[in-house]
Amino acid sequence: MFGGGSTFFPVEIPFKVAVDPCFVFEPSEHAKDGTHFFEIKSDEFFKKLDCGDLPLRQTSSTQPIKFDIIFIDGYHTFEQSFRDFENSLRYSHKKTLWLIDDTVPSDAYSALPNPEISSYKRHRAGLDRGDWHGDVYKTIFAIHDRFPEISYCTLMGGNPQTVLWKAERSTRAPLFSSISEIESASYYDMIRHGKVMMPITDETLPNYIFRSIDPALEAAPDSWRQVITKPNFRNLSPEVTLMDLLVVSCKQSVPARAYLKFNKDGLGAVLKAIKNKLRENR
Ligand SMILES: C[S@@+](CC[C@H](N)C(=O)[O-])C[C@H]1O[C@@H](n2cnc3c(N)ncnc32)[C@H](O)[C@@H]1O
């Protein structure tokens, strides 16, 4: 949920915890009382936290740790971000604020859940550059449908992020019939249901925070316009065919990577790469 430190380091707070399987800095160089780094995946972090296996303690309390602010910005898929949110609930209190990053993908390519397919399709469509937001937007749909006790709004300035807090919403009607229906939603569904994202301008956040917010009643009627942040949504289909899946998985396969390595480093390196892969899979 944390990478280069550009978000984490500027936060001045006596107790803070960073979790990322791959920090791009040396955590020991930033060691400080009250600052904790865990170079593991978020699932493992919560598992260890649940078992009391992490050396984390807030003041002298024996109660489970409760975070004031939880920033979710790990692997950009619905599956992972929703699980991170659900896991983090156990470590929240009445006034905890969540910030979920990348909740509004910049175009239909950015919204694809697989980063390699996203970049492959984008390239095939003749578009050179673009982000990968993945399908984190579905986590907001799922929270809307499954957690009516949570209110939220989405800050549309810059890269949109959703701010969430505990406040019961007045209507409980879900938008989708099941989590699997949410799972199969597309970027276009997100636009169609733009209201559910509860888009707001950053400056107006103080008018909403900690209030009970019901997107069905409070979001601007043309909210869908606000969730369109780039023009590529209109005419380029990001449909993923079986052929795309095949091409991308072939590109990523061991022989393909070994071939690239062979061209670069010679036969010895290829044999070593294959041997390592076989050892990993044993
Ligand atoms: C978009 S970057 C986040 C950058 C970070 N917010 C910052 O400002 O420096 C996404 C990060 O999520 C990490 N990540 C990927 N899978 C993860 C997981 N399962 N659990 C926790 N972090 C993960 C990646 O290593 C990467 O550093």
C-alpha distances (whole Å) from 173 to each of 55, 87, 138, 214, 219 are 41, 24, 17, 11, 16
Pick from 8, 23, 75 the residue to mutate for probing ligand 1's pocket: most ligand atoms within 8 Å of its CB.
75
pLDDT at res. 72: 98
Q: Are residues 167 and 227 in the same domain?
A: yes
Q: Is the CB of 6 under 6 A from ligand 1?
A: yes
| pLDDT at residue 195 in the model | 95
- In short, whether 7's Cβ falls inside 6 Å of ligand 1 is yes
134's torsion region: left (phi>0), alpha (psi -120 to 50) or beta?
Answer: left
119 occurs within a structural domain: yes
- Assigned domain for 42 exists: no
57 falls within a domain: no
**For residues 43, 45, 48 and 51, what is the CA-based torsion angle, rounded to 10 degrees?**
-80
In a domain, 158, yes or no: yes
Structural domain including 184 reads 66-236
Can you give the pLDDT at residue 88? 98
Q: Sort strands 35-38 and 92-101 into parallel, antiparallel or unpaired.
A: unpaired
- Regions in the chain scoring below 50 on pLDDT: 1-2
Same domain, yes or no, for 82 and 178?
A: yes
Q: Is the CB of 115 under 6 A from ligand 1?
A: no
Residue nearest to ligand 1 atom 19, measured at CA: 41
| Pairing label, strands 35-38, 16-19 | parallel
Q: What is the pLDDT of residue 59?
A: 60
Q: Is pTM beyond 0.85 here?
A: yes
Question: What spacing in Å lies between the alpha carbon of 104 and ligand 1's midpoint?
Answer: 17
Res 126: pLDDT: 82
Nearest CA to ligand 1 atom 8: 7
Same domain, 179 and 277: no
